[in-house]
Amino acid sequence: MVACSIDEKLLKILACPACDDRPLVKLQCDELVCEKCKRHYPIEDGVPVMLPEKASKEE
């Protein structure tokens, strides 16, 4: 599982780079999700892609 490679402690400091107040993102399935702006950041080969332009967004 890709998601298992994300260390839980390190996940706790991972925040949304697109939101000014940097809310923490949450691991959902194999993506990191910002609950505020609804961006989904992919995890590619175990590397979280924390770039807003690479994120998908819920409508």
Partner 1 sequence: MNNEQKAREIFGARAAYYTTSVSHTDQAVLDRVVELCKPTSDAIALDIATGTGHTALAVAPRAKQVIATDITPEMLDQGRKLQTEKGIGNVQFRLASVDDLPFDDGSFDIITCRRAAHHFADIHHALAEMQRVLKPGGRLVIDDRSVPEDDFVDATMNRLDVLHDESHVCEYRPSEWERMLTEAGYEIEVVETYTRHRPLSSLTDNVSPENTARIHEIISALDADQRLMMNVVDKDGVTHINHWFVMIAATRG
52 lies in the binding site for partner 1 (CB under 8 A) = yes
Q: DSSP assignment, residue 18?
A: T
List the one residue from 29, 38, 51, 57 that touches partner 1 (CB under 8 A): 51
Find the shortest distance in angstroms from Cβ 51 to partner 1: 6
Strand partners for 56: 40
| CA nearest neighbour of 28 among 11, 53, 13, 45 | 11
* Neighbouring C-beta atoms of residue 15, cutoff 10 Å: 15
33 lies in the binding site for partner 1 (CB under 8 A) = no
Q: Given the rule CB under 8 A, which residues bind partner 1?
A: 6-7, 9-10, 12-18, 22, 24-25, 41, 44-45, 47-52, 54
